[in-house]
Structure 1
């Protein structure tokens, strides 16, 4: 029987607009998402580089873009409406029955933007639902690396067979499954986290 649930953040609780940054960066003159930009993103997500170093990495490809323009383009993935209230209410009810954790590949810029959009009262209510919140940029680890799942399991003495991991990316749920966790690979646009009890026998 499940007693613990580890949730991803983006497209599980907060709806992301993943096409927006591509559109915004094209406006700034970026022609392709090269492998070095992907590596730049990984380094930012794992806290290996600062926000300024991240932005300067983009400026090597779009030298005429300002710091604020790049920051705006990068943060455009986060829409004006953040977490729907019904998801927060669902999470609050869930937190009375299960140990809950948040495990997200994200960076300091996106989290700052989310908190600004949501407002202090709302994001505090959201964060308080979790026993512990893990952001990749603070941990120095990211999904789907096995190390990140093993760290959370050992740190909180979790029983993998009694722990459910929810994520929208199959490579992440596959890695969690390999670590012994139960998984739900949520299909964005077709499923909603509030339908958890319809999808998973807890």
Structure 2
């Protein structure tokens, strides 16, 4: 029996434009492929291992022709709309009281600041969760196993009683190896509000 629901944030609740953001970055940085050095720095920032100032200074030193505003816009353009019906679904879940509800997201400081400013119901959204874990706050990131172990241990959870919802297969595969039930949601065809319809075999 599922007792705990663990949700990702991006492309589960808030819509993302991953392809558009990557193409935009390649154009702005005038590269054909995204360099490993930049990916590694992004991961470090996502884990809160470097500050926002250090992160921005790194990009400005690598691309001196670009100013901070251009870099910020390139970084945040992945973030799109947050359909209100997903918030209402989440509120109903919380009000029903049948599950503990946890957010587990690879989210950095710049992105969460943008969301706080642009999504006027962010605090309502946050209040729906019993625990709200952002990668830059806990210094861990998916798909590394230690982030799932952290959540399980911190909340004394049985993995077989958890359902983890994430749009990236590498993340759900990693969680599944620990015995966690998973739904690899497809943002192009699925909506989180279909949770019980798609996963009725678990409830």
TM range (shorter): over 0.9
Contact 1:30 1:61 (8 Å CA) reproduced:
no
The answer for the alignment partner of 1:17 in structure 2 is 17
Residue 48 of structure 1 pairs with residue 52 of structure 2: no
2:52 and 2:106 map into 1 onto residues whose CA distance is 16
CA pair 192-8 structure 1, distance change in 2 beyond 3 A: same
The answer for the alignment partner of 1:63 in structure 2 is 64
2:116 and 2:71 map into 1 onto residues whose CA distance is 19
TM-superposition CA deviations, 1:148-170 (whole Å, max 9, x none): 10111111111111110000111
Contact 2:26 2:34 (8 Å CA) reproduced:
no
Partner SS state of residue 5, structure 1: strand
Contact 1:37 1:57 (8 Å CA) reproduced:
no
The answer for the alignment partner of 1:108 in structure 2 is 109
The normalised TM-score by structure 2 is 0.93
TM-superposition CA deviations, 1:28-49 (whole Å, max 9, x none): 3431310000001000000011
CA pair 180-58 structure 1, distance change in 2 beyond 3 A: same
* Superposed displacement of residue 13, structure 1: 0.3
Q: What are the within-5 Å matches in structure 2 for residues 41-190 of structure 1?
A: 41-79=42-80, 81=81, 83-95=82-94, 96=96, 97-119=98-120, 122-190=121-189
2:163 and 2:22 map into 1 onto residues whose CA distance is 32
Of stretches 25-34 and 124-133 in structure 1, the one that deviates more from structure 2 is 25-34
Partner SS state of residue 102, structure 1: strand
TM-superposition CA deviations, 1:110-165 (whole Å, max 9, x none): 0000111102xx11110011001000001100011111101111111111111100
The normalised TM-score by structure 1 is 0.94
CA pair 60-195 structure 1, distance change in 2 beyond 3 A: same
CA pair 91-66 structure 1, distance change in 2 beyond 3 A: same
**Segments ≥4 residues shifted beyond 4 Å:** none
2:47 and 2:186 map into 1 onto residues whose CA distance is 25
1:138 and 1:112 map into 2 onto residues whose CA distance is 13
| CA RMSD, Structure 1 to Structure 2 (Å) | 1.2
Q: Which consecutive residues of structure 2, in runs of 5 or more, have no partner in the other structure? A: none
